[in-house]
Chains A and B, each alone.
Chain A
């Protein structure tokens, strides 16, 4: 089963929920955790995996053979991302605009283009001492495109076996979140009872509608005193899977790099019950199809 943890708003506790879910399930199932927040990956700070394998994440960018190029400009014309330009007597390539789609290569009438890998980040794999298989992507500083790393990271994954796969999503509600959510079975949305939390949760609901995925909500920092989030969830019959209270002790513990289970061992049970609810909703949705 593949479970993504997403939120819209940043800092609502995605990584807290993803890592504690993994820790709570690891003695019952084989568990994989993938940190897809490649711009700011933090799950490793709580799980302390031993990383044993590293790969480059690259975009294939065009390299133009000046001997063959006739400066016809076809590549410039077909590129939708303005990554190629004809400047004087050369074709210039702008690697950071290139999406690596290959269109210029296929459309060059002179076969003057070959593709070369342009590294934009790294991918790492390993495991925690407790046996959670772990992987993460890291976007190189100053590189703009996070989504290709997420796509490549998911392709590394060995699809075999009955494994619980947990994906820690990036914040926001744009393409990198969609890439993380593609192909998962269930989405846990982490929100907080504030106007910001509710606004950004609604953005996520828009994505989930398009992807047609079952989901439930974890309310973090519960008790701030904003009832519109609860009201909204009730009105829209959205299941609430877990409440985590707004407590200085929790905020402090997490800042110190502790997991919820370490701060209060009772969370172990709560996350197991969260997983039971996920399975139930998933089963019900499956039967409804």
Chain B
């Protein structure tokens, strides 16, 4: 008998700050202590602004270095200043050395790590040096195991790090025979988002009423559909701007997109965030917590249906 693989749920939004992390924290609470508990592993895939741990009371039990790409470095004792490296660099990263006359220097902030200069240098004075670009962590939380990471400021390869924490989440889920992996995604639609949504079973999009929210929803929906990922929609702060909510619903209907729930504009959400706890734990009777509970029930029902029975 083969063990059933955990289903993967990714929470995305396009636009930042629409409430992905607050909703994920609510799901963490529901998965452990709600009316419909699930063995769940939590993953924070927003590695350059990793905030989920701040509301899960995460206690790291393991810390690992993340080595991303390599950057070019010029050995100043070998460089003759011939500047053959300069024209091959498309990232404007090669400059005269600040202290040594007649020697060149690679700006690590501008370097893309392509190594074109390495091959262009007749003196073999340039070397690719691997870079540590962050850490990833395995943590314990009151709601279960939690995988997260921290990309050092300004680094590339956030997509690679997202893939890595997701893989670790998957392994943790296998170890514990978890039923579900919940992934808090990054904003936008580019490389880290594509990494976050790859291989997931459901993309839950969180939008807020308003032109910007709707505009970015269209972009994230298009992205998820391109990768053939099933989607559902949550409207956060739904009562803030009813005309905007109506416009989102109209869009959803036109696109055949299921609105799985609405969360009202509720000051308990920022209050819970300040306290560093899920709103569902701190204010279980609040309108937001109740809405999140309903969304959890519907999301789980959708994901746990037998294969092929939903479309």
Contact = CB atoms under 8 A, between A and B. Distances in A.
A288 interface: no
B270 A40 contact: no
Contacts of B154: 173-175, 177-178, 206-207, 210-211
Given A107-B119, A174-B48, A196-B273, A203 B153 contact: yes
Contacts of B192: 172, 174
A223 B111 CA distance: 41
A172 B112 contact: no
Interface in B137-169: 151-156, 158-159
Interface residues of A, number: 62
A91 B28 CA distance: 46
A195 B155 contact: no
A203 B54 CA distance: 15
A176 B128 CA distance: 22
A80 B49 contact: no
Nearest to A179: B110
B294 interface: no
Contacts of A40: 14-16, 187-189, 212, 215-216, 219
B241 A256 contact: yes
B241 A255 contact: yes
A164 B196 CA distance: 37
A142 B223 contact: yes
Contact of B49 (A146, A173, A225): A173
Contact of A101 (B112, B187, B194, B213): B112
Contacts of B194: 142, 144
Nearest to A255: B210
Contacts of B223: 141-142
B114 A172 contact: no
Interface stretch (A6-14, A20-28, A271-279): A6-14
B83 to A, nearest CB: 15
B251 interface: no
B171 interface: no
Interface string A161-197: 0000000001111111110001000000000001110
B63 to A, nearest CB: 17
Given A107-B119, A255-B213, A101 B114 contact: yes
A11 B90 contact: no
Contact of A10 (B15, B219, B271): B15
A172 B273 CA distance: 19
Contacts of A255: 208-211, 213, 237, 240-241, 244
Interface string B200-223: 000000001111110110010011
B51 interface: yes
Given A139-B190, A141-B223, A172-B48, A194 B215 contact: no
Contact of B187 (A81, A142, A172, A252): A172
Interface residues of B, number: 69
Contacts of B187: 10-11, 39-40, 171-172
A94 interface: no
Given A80-B113, A174-B156, A226-B274, A9 B16 contact: yes
Nearest to B72: A80
Contacts of A225: 271, 274
B33 to A, nearest CB: 22
A68 interface: no
A42 interface: yes
A145 B194 CA distance: 10
Contacts of B244: 255-256
Nearest to B151: A174
A189 B167 CA distance: 33
A100 interface: yes
A251 interface: yes
B15 A248 contact: no
A254 interface: yes
A81 B192 CA distance: 16
B212 A15 contact: yes
Given A45-B215, A174-B154, 12 more contacts: A8-B48, A42-B216, A101-B114, A106-B119, A172-B187, A174-B156, A196-B273, A199-B49, A210-B154, A211-B154, A224-B274, A256-B244
9 contacts: A11-B15, A40-B188, A81-B114, A142-B223, A144-B190, A173-B154, A176-B190, A255-B209, A255-B244
